[in-house]
Amino acid sequence: MRDKITNIEIIGEEEVVTAFVEMLDLCPRCSIKEQRAKIINAYNFAYEAHRGLKRKTGEPFILHPIEVAKIVLGEIGLGVTSVMCALLHDVVEDNDDISLEDIETQFGKQVASIIDGLTKITNVYDDEQNVQAETFRKMLMTIPQDIRVILIKLADRLHNMRTLSGMAENRKIVKAGETLYVYAPLARKLGLNKIGRELEDLSFKHHLPEDYNKLLQIIKESENQRIENIYNFNERMKPILKRSGIKYEIIGIRKSLYATWLKMRERQIPFEEIHNFQTMRLIFEPKVRDSERMQSYRIYTLITEEFIARKGSLQDFIKNPKDNGFQALIVDIMDDDGNWKEVQILSRRMADIAERGYSSEKSDNENMSQRDKWIQSIGNQLINPNSNALDFLDNFKLNLYTSEIYVFTPRGKIVKLPKGATVLDFAFHIHSQLGLHCIGAKVNKKLVNRGYVLNSADQIQVLDSAAALPEKDWLNIVVSARAKVSLKNYFKKQIKDNIHQGEITVKEIQSSLEFATDQSTINRLVKYFHCNDKRDLYNKVGKELITRQDLIKAFKSVQGSGIFENLIPSIFKTKNNQNNNFKQEFSHKKTYVIKESIDEAEHIIADCCYPIPGDKSIAYKSPNGVIEVHQISCPVAIKLNAEHGKSVAKVQWENHTITQHISKIHLKGIDRKKIVLELTEVISSQMNVNMKSIHIDSSNGIYQGDIILYVSSLDALNSLIAKLKKISGIKTVERVKVK
């Protein structure tokens, strides 16, 4: 097909060309001949590079970059260069004969730079590094230089998640874990809330399909009620807003199913108690003469004159926007049925940013400076870029907070911190040296310790002393990435200095005793002092945990003895070989079978989630050879899928009836006499289940409690729960997390 505007031939099958032309129609600048030609040339180049290739779903591979370009245009709102990069994003990675230099020659340096940021790490790393984490770090490091890299990558991931059905189940689990751990929170952080919600829901769908389908059914059943709520709110507000001359629309914005499921599980509440599952968003067209904030407050006044507002629920994110640019007035009101509903008041500009972040902003000077400020704030969080890839990813993850607090310096400057931040976090935010020597603070003129948890509107004056030095437990006090990294760097420097001093001391003693300074002698010392390696030995010597007298005695003991010759290197060699074998095994193995045995198991059951036979679970083989088994919904499992996907396998439980596994249930009901007696009768006598502990509280005729049990399998636990639900007065029985 020949394009009528540019007269350039668009190559490809009819299905592919049709999809590409649909994408072109979304492009507002594609009516300009020169811009349109760039995109068509990029498409033709990509088509030739992917000619004949198919996706797992069976469709031509070129349809994937076309769909990514559609998302970049229609859902994110980027320009021509980004569309070209979306079309070309897999070309270098999937073709050995096409290099970044070829892309630069054909399409320019800027396009080549973005494609480089989108290309996965393919080098082979040693055991201390991880290809997945290195790829994430490479991608995240591009944010301060060119935010388009990450935006295109999110579009790429969104389309991959939309078409995940064609992949093997084990790969689905890994992709869903990566998305929940990195991509969905990152989309939220960048203000792409619509994409963030969809990424969460698609991950939830493939990660925990049973829970997803159950919640989806509940939501569908209540859909008519939510439509009616919006209709009733609109009908009551329509005459009021019309009299005030306000042009507006009211829409419903719902939480993601995954966020809702998490909230229900963490708070142990049913769906009906999630009052803000759907937010009513009132979007108004602003008038030029007044500020948007003042107009928002006028609408807030009109709403609260018509509806009862929940005391203390007003949140002003217009004066203090979130990091991702989100601005709105938020208030809870009581609907016609006496239920609390959340209402957001936003201008049209604010509503665009609420869904697409600053990528929705027009390119005028004021907005560009605001965008630059925002990107700089993201870049500032990429502290210590030379850190280990896994540390880097963990530190960046710490910054993906949805909740923040606003506190003040003694001079009234506003400081934004993550919720749960302490005095120590505040001190490190002001300056790393202030954090390292912090001894406490005056919060609102009251003396507090360094671990005091701050609240919004607190005013903090940090107290420091040159004599105060960090201790390891400080890492448990802080929650911000800046503070954690500063502390880790301090401790790493301490270790480095200790190792240097320790090595000097060991060599001095070797020289004074005229002993050989070969590696075998050092290896014997490592074994003698039960150290991990020579660095551990030098560190302990530098810290004086091993004294000079201890060293002299050890030298005399091991010198001339050949029993430890080359022992440590051979251990390391064996361990490395085991690691290589396990990586190869797990990269091809789809399942890890757990058989029932009273003998010592080859794996450990993770105590962060306590999976039991029948639970959907994953197995992870760590570098030290230990296999950990986690529930698939466990946050640690999600992290392992994101960082070590090739070292993770799906678990298949064989029939389990003998071995016992710990589990916990939570009960609620109407209190009456002998209820506890009947509970224990069913559990112990009828079901023959052992209890580890039981705790029941009763208040005002209502009781609730927790019971920790030993069960053989998920089927056995479900049978017990079904039996308990039949006891008179018991309203709910559900499995909860063992802490």
Hey, which residues are catalytic here?
A: 93-94
In the Cβ-directed half-sphere of 62, how many Cα atoms lie within 13 Å? 22
What separation in angstroms does the CA of 661 have from each of 27, 606, 717, 739? 57, 11, 10, 14
Q: How many CB atoms lie within 10 A of CB 328?
A: 25
Count Cβ atoms within 10 A of the Cβ of residue 514 and give its class: 0-12 exposed, 13-18 middle, 19 or more buried: exposed
3-state secondary structure 283-332: EECCCCCCCHHHHHHHHHHHHHHHCCECCCCCEECCCCCCCCCCCCEEEE
Contact 230, 280 (CB under 8 A): yes
The DSSP annotation for 30-55 comes to: TTSHHHHHHHHHHHHHHHHHHTT-B-
> Which residue, 496, 429, 494, 440, is CA-closest to 465?
440
> Which residue, 526, 448, 537, 456, is CA-closest to 501?
537
> Which residue, 628, 647, 624, is CA-closest to 636?
628
| DSSP structural state of residue 422 | B
CA distance linking residue 631 with residue 618, whole number of Å: 6
Contact 438, 463 (CB under 8 A): yes
CA distance linking residue 639 with residue 411, whole number of Å: 41
The four Cα atoms 303, 307, 310, 314 give a dihedral, to 10 degrees, of: 0
- Element housing 234 (H / E): helix 223-243
CA distance linking residue 505 with residue 210, whole number of Å: 61
